[in-house]
Structure 1
Amino acid sequence: MRSTKELLSAITRIQNELDKSDEIYKDGQALFSDYDAIRAAGLIYRNTHETQMFHDRFRKLDAIYRRVEELLEAPETNILLIHFYVHGLQAFKRMCMEKETNTAETEIAVSRQFERLDNIEREYENTLWGMADRILFYCAEKKTHVAVWIAHIVRKSARTEDLFRRLDTVARKKIETDAGHSIGDRLNGMSFYKDDLAVVRDTVARCFPETIQVHDFLARSYHRHIAAQFRRIATENATAPEILSLLSWAGEYYSTMQTDHSMKRGSLDPDLLGQREEALVRKYIALCSGKIAAWLLGLAKTERKYFTERAALPEKNENNVYFSPSGIDLFQIVKQHIEAAKKTRNDRLSREIMLQCVVSIGVFQKEICAGIDEETRKYVSAIKDDTETAPFFEEYAQMIGNTALRWVGYMAMVEGNLGTELSPEEQIKLETCNAGFVEIAKKANNALWEGVKASLSPVFARLYGEEWLASGSGEGGAVVATLEDYFADYKDGMHPYLFSTL
């Protein structure tokens, strides 16, 4: 283990001793009597070859060091080849250090020979785990051979736990990275988990043997860190849009984990929301209830004002019948709130928002009915008293009736898209809501009929009276002519069903 010159000298000396031992074999009679000498000669012979092997390997050591260092500095690092070199060097070092004949001086000399290996080992470890940290990147870039190399090294070195610790740390740091100040930004900042876990499932896991369950480990690792981050984000001070974002993100997350990774919500611990979910749902319902009620009441008052003023003829829809824009506005308000709740995949929230809409629609319906009653009284009084009132009453009455029928259809669409079963009590409330729209349509029709009756009241007053009986006047013809005139006007702007019932 000393210098090369000393090693060569030792080899020469031992070979000379071996030459002397050859004489022992020449005399077969001396075989047993000289057994100890033969054994000693064999030991010397083995030591000679071992010394020659050590000498040859030490001479090649510098070249191997240079080769490994070049591989470590290469742009495309072949970590598996480096592993084999380093593993061989480590084995050779152990062989040298474990020699029984080593002296303290020898061990110091050997250690000096392997100082360069110590540096290479550190660089190898840094490179190996640096590549392991980026294993998802390599697989996403179709460089799956890197993952295969790492899998082989980890399995052969029994370092699966080390790999998992590294990957868990990478996942934690990535998830905890602050993506913004708002809740929406921070939630969006964690959505990369979809792509990451898809790469793990489709590529990374296939590079490892089944005994190393990379997909299961990383899916649960991501979940733990996402849950921790989610709990920090989901504060009780969240606004209605923020609560909706939290619930929707959680609903989509659990759906993705079950659909794409066969992991049901109950198998993922801890839960993203836990006990906070109920509090968030209650708060969202309370916040939205007031908003829905205010919007629909405002819409009803606007519609009533529109009906009262009647500044111009109402518009017609695609079916060429009078129709109010509020019909679409009401539907959009209800639809948007229910669809927003539906995105959370929380059935209870969807039903509660639906029922809150039903309550607010009931207030809307009462306001519209009150407006019809008020304007009908004014219109009938104007006919009877022959005074002026706002024009286009008949057209606006038709408009409200037509729109009410459309509202019934809209509510059926909303119920069909709710995505959850209603209880019998909830179903009754929805049916009551639809009945309210039918009642509006009836009131609108009745308003038209009240106008017709008011116009014919002078004629009806004379029917079967003394003057009528005596003169045999054609009052009946006047009635028919009046009805034909009214119904001809109504037919062009009314829904066929309402016209037939009128």
Structure 2
Amino acid sequence: MESAVARVAELLKRSDDLDKVELITQRLQREKAAIDVQLKAEVKSHIDSTGGAVIKLADSKRIMAEIKGELMKIDRLCSESQLSVRDFEKINRLANIHRNFIKTQEFADNMKSLHGRIQQVNDMIEDDCGDGQGGIEAQLDSRVPNLLTIHYMLSEMRDFRDSAMFHAEKASEDTRRTTIKHFAPLDPLIAKFDRVVEDVGGNLLEFIRSGNTSLVVRLAKIIDLEEREDLKATVLLEVNGKAKQQNGGTGGGFRSPHMNGNSNNKNNSMSVTLGNNVAPRSPRGYPTLFLRAMEKSIKDSFEACIESFPGDCITLLENLAWIYTDLELTRMELATLVPKRWQIFDTVLKFYHVETHNLLDQVLATDPDAQSILAILNYVKDYYDTMKKGFSVSKEQLQPPLLDGKENDLYDDYMKLIVNKLNEWMENLATTERQAFINRDNAPEMDNDGRYALQGEVITFKMITQQIEVAADSQQGRILAGVVEECGNVLKERQASWEAIMTKEVKKEIRVAQLLRDKKKRKEAEKALANGQDIDSDDELQNNAGLVDYMIALANDQIRGADYTEALSSKVAPVVSQKYSTQITSTLETVSDGYVAFAKLCTNSLIEIIFSDLKPAFDILFETSTIGASAWYKGIPMSQITDTLAEYYGDVQSHMNPLLIEVFLDDLLDETVLHYLQSLRSGKHHKVSLKLPKASVQIKQDIGKMYDFFDEHHSSREHVQQVFKVFEHLLWILESPIEELGDKYTQLKAEFWDCPLSFFEAVVNARKDIDSKMAKELISVVRSEALLGGGPEEELQPTIMGRYGRS
């Protein structure tokens, strides 16, 4: 009841659920109908099962009653037959005495002929399997024609010995010793036959390959017979043991009811039963011997294979295809030549699997290298795939599991070895690269197109590609994706290492330039150098030349690395499943993006060096001091700027990857414009006071020189003009009457929405015709209007003026 209430509460959680009561009712009715159908089907099934069981019980009861009646008839007939014959006991006793006389005579005859039969069997074994030197070996070309005869005669003699030894137990000690001595020559003969069984049993597949299937069939018949006889012997021994316990431990052996000494034993001519006792046959274990011979032969084959390839794990694993060949021959040929109930394929498969497991354990014990571990993982995968596809045997059926289920541990070991190897290679390579980049004793190498290049990236990708191709050959998505991920991590670490080195060298280059520009510090430095002293711990003034060339080479290498990465992704991603393909693509895309980002950082750092070199020229732009003003109005600073830009660009154009040149020019254009505009700001050592219209004329000349340079080299005149539009607003603010300046700022913001007020303030303060008080009032009004106007209603792309004042 409570569960029903809870169910209703769950269905009717909200007030609007009441409108759905009819729909809910219909749904519940459908669910109930489905459950009722299932219940009826289950009940019917149980009723049918119960009815069948009741019928079987009734049949069993009837059959038991019939058997009981028949047994009672047999017992009655037996009793009546004894009573119907006069002197039945005497006749039965005399018949028994007569049989014993006959058996005794047979026993004596067999004792006399034993050694002759032993020699006869021995001669047959020597003829069929003798090696001429007293040894026994079943050759592949031997048909062993007497195998069944040998087994038959040997079994007779063994049965006879068992019978004799059974009866000798009740005789004197001397008789027992004599009996044992008489049968002693039989043991070496048994050993020889066992050797034949082992040779043939251990080489069944080879006999089949040689076309000697008859021998295989005959051996199978012998083993089948021995298996059945051993089972009978085991059962009789168990029954005999129980009988002794019930009789208080007294002997007498197994006694057949109503037979009065008649034996049901085999009708072998050498099997003798005396009195009422049956000689027990001890189990002879030929099925076990047969299986052990097969197992040993398989083990020997594996050991021979291992010895053929000492210390060569990969070649060893490549030469194990014979396992599948043997299993296929077992399934298609051997299984048809032996009893089906043996399930010989399952037995042979188990032997081969155990030895394969042991072989892999031995290989792992040799501390294999990364390539060998990959070969092991590949082999295990192929092994299970072949067993599944070729023999319909699942991985779960093959026990113990190969590698003891430690594939993940082995996979981790492989990845560690790969990472260690890559790190070792990268460290050795990085040491050489760092020294070349820092020392810069020689110019970078050039490729066929005249571009600067560093060879490290080529070497790196040769090593990376080698490892990835090896992993790809495994055709295992997990391994390939793992190797790609680790290689990606190594490449990202390499990018980070190069970034740190480059940043340090760029900062050092700029510090040296700044130090040498300071005359006082320069004289101190020159004096220290003359005295053989270091300037500081970084040896800053002893910086090596050629950094720009190496920066270009480094930037080019990043584009090359991105190309290599994309090519590698296109090559390996399609060879695995979608799951791992996505992972590989994502990893390599991240690496490629890192290369592109670092290439951009290289060009930015190169521009940073350029503008560090141009700092003196920018410092005297708009300078109002006598010397500075004279230089500026003569156009000297801008000529220096454009000449320096042209010189740097000449190196870039000649030796940089074309994909980077446009990026470099875009950034150079932005930085040049920003540096020029930022030079309008007055500072502690830089006072700007522009006398109009003379100043505006010179500014226009400066703008013209800058425009000519970029228009000549940049591929997009439209882009250059778009950036230079800010100079139009600069001139409007400089040349417009004071009362129109607020509108000019509004126009500036309309086109460059993120331009800070500080730019407008710097230009207004630079005008000599506007005093500071008037400037402050004007800027205050403009600031208030800007605050009232708010920001743009929609998100806009940042403009060049958004970076004004940030550097």
Relative to the length of structure 2, the TM-score reads 0.42
* Cα offset, 1:450, TM superposition: 3.5
- Evaluate the alpha carbon distance shift between residue 258 and residue 403 of structure 1 in structure 2; reply closer, same or farther with a 3 A threshold: same
- The answer on whether the counterparts of 1:401 and 1:440 sit within 8 Å (CA) in structure 2 is yes
Aligned partner of 2:218 among 146, 153, 159:
153
Q: Secondary structure at the match of 2:402?
A: coil
Aligned partner of 2:202 among 128, 133, 148:
133
* Cα offset, 1:128, TM superposition: 4.9
Long gaps (5+) in structure 1: 1-60, 98-113
Partner of 1:221: 351
Partner of 2:147: 83
- The answer on whether the counterparts of 1:144 and 1:207 sit within 8 Å (CA) in structure 2 is no
1:439 aligns with 2:496: no
Q: Secondary structure at the match of 1:390?
A: coil
Partner of 2:653: 491
- Evaluate the alpha carbon distance shift between residue 322 and residue 132 of structure 1 in structure 2; reply closer, same or farther with a 3 A threshold: farther
Distance (whole Å) between structure 2 residues aligned to residue 303 and residue 149 of structure 1: 74
* Cα offset, 1:213, TM superposition: 6.1
Instruction: Give 2:603's aligned amino acid.
Output: N
Aligned partner of 2:441 among 308, 311, 322:
311
Distance (whole Å) between structure 2 residues aligned to residue 292 and residue 137 of structure 1: 48
Partner of 2:548: 394
Moved more, 263-272 or 292-301: 292-301
Distance (whole Å) between structure 2 residues aligned to residue 138 and residue 314 of structure 1: 71
Q: Secondary structure at the match of 1:149?
A: helix
Per-residue Cα deviation, 1:263-298 (whole angstroms, up to 9, x for no partner) = 443332111233544445556656765665565455
Partner of 2:111: none
Q: Which has the higher contact order (CA 8 A, sep 6+)?
A: 1
Per-residue Cα deviation, 1:368-426 (whole angstroms, up to 9, x for no partner) = 11222222234455667488742332321122112222222344455553756459898
Partner of 2:326: 200
- The answer on whether the counterparts of 2:558 and 2:599 sit within 8 Å (CA) in structure 1 is yes
Q: How many residues matched?
A: 421
Partner of 1:251: 378
* Cα offset, 1:355, TM superposition: 4.1
- Evaluate the alpha carbon distance shift between residue 131 and residue 487 of structure 1 in structure 2; reply closer, same or farther with a 3 A threshold: farther
Partner of 2:496: 366
1:72 aligns with 2:136: no
Per-residue Cα deviation, 1:244-279 (whole angstroms, up to 9, x for no partner) = 745641431331342374444333211123354444
Aligned partner of 1:265 among 382, 387, 395:
395
- Evaluate the alpha carbon distance shift between residue 254 and residue 391 of structure 1 in structure 2; reply closer, same or farther with a 3 A threshold: same
Distance (whole Å) between structure 2 residues aligned to residue 221 and residue 197 of structure 1: 11
Distance (whole Å) between structure 1 residues aligned to residue 190 and residue 642 of structure 2: 109
Distance (whole Å) between structure 2 residues aligned to residue 242 and residue 470 of structure 1: 74
Distance (whole Å) between structure 2 residues aligned to residue 121 and residue 461 of structure 1: 113
Distance (whole Å) between structure 1 residues aligned to residue 544 and residue 504 of structure 2: 13
Instruction: Give 1:498's aligned amino acid.
Output: L
Distance (whole Å) between structure 2 residues aligned to residue 118 and residue 389 of structure 1: 97
Distance (whole Å) between structure 1 residues aligned to residue 468 and residue 149 of structure 2: 64
Partner of 1:18: none
The structure with the larger Rg is 2
Query: How do residues 139-178 of structure 1 correspond to structure 2 at under 5 angstroms?
Result: 143-146=209-212, 148-157=213-222, 159=224, 163-175=290-302
Distance (whole Å) between structure 2 residues aligned to residue 204 and residue 393 of structure 1: 73
Moved more, 184-193 or 300-309: 184-193
Instruction: Give 1:253's aligned amino acid.
Output: V
1:417 aligns with 2:572: yes
Q: Secondary structure at the match of 1:145?
A: coil
- Evaluate the alpha carbon distance shift between residue 362 and residue 193 of structure 1 in structure 2; reply closer, same or farther with a 3 A threshold: closer
- Evaluate the alpha carbon distance shift between residue 259 and residue 281 of structure 1 in structure 2; reply closer, same or farther with a 3 A threshold: closer
Query: How do residues 221-370 of structure 1 correspond to structure 2 at under 5 angstroms?
Result: 221-228=351-358, 230-231=360-361, 234=364, 241=368, 245-246=372-373, 248-259=375-386, 261-262=390-391, 263-282=393-412, 292-293=422-423, 296=426, 299-317=429-447, 321-335=451-465, 351-352=481-482, 354-370=484-500
- The answer on whether the counterparts of 2:566 and 2:588 sit within 8 Å (CA) in structure 1 is no
- The answer on whether the counterparts of 1:179 and 1:186 sit within 8 Å (CA) in structure 2 is no
Instruction: Give 1:169's aligned amino acid.
Output: K
* Cα offset, 1:88, TM superposition: 7.9
Q: Secondary structure at the match of 1:194?
A: coil
- The answer on whether the counterparts of 2:620 and 2:632 sit within 8 Å (CA) in structure 1 is no
Distance (whole Å) between structure 2 residues aligned to residue 404 and residue 249 of structure 1: 36
* Cα offset, 1:167, TM superposition: 1.6
- The answer on whether the counterparts of 1:380 and 1:454 sit within 8 Å (CA) in structure 2 is yes
* Cα offset, 1:455, TM superposition: 5.1
Per-residue Cα deviation, 1:183-234 (whole angstroms, up to 9, x for no partner) = x839569648724324314555544354476555433321123324545765
Relative to the length of structure 1, the TM-score reads 0.63
Per-residue Cα deviation, 1:330-369 (whole angstroms, up to 9, x for no partner) = 3355455556666777765655554444444443322211
- Evaluate the alpha carbon distance shift between residue 188 and residue 304 of structure 1 in structure 2; reply closer, same or farther with a 3 A threshold: closer
Long gaps (5+) in structure 2: 1-116, 132-138, 162-182, 228-286, 518-540, 624-628, 665-807
- Evaluate the alpha carbon distance shift between residue 128 and residue 392 of structure 1 in structure 2; reply closer, same or farther with a 3 A threshold: same
Distance (whole Å) between structure 1 residues aligned to residue 370 and residue 509 of structure 2: 49
Distance (whole Å) between structure 1 residues aligned to residue 551 and residue 317 of structure 2: 52
Partner of 2:311: 185
Instruction: Give 1:393's aligned amino acid.
Output: L
Distance (whole Å) between structure 1 residues aligned to residue 152 and residue 295 of structure 2: 30
Moved more, 314-323 or 415-424: 415-424
- Evaluate the alpha carbon distance shift between residue 379 and residue 119 of structure 1 in structure 2; reply closer, same or farther with a 3 A threshold: closer
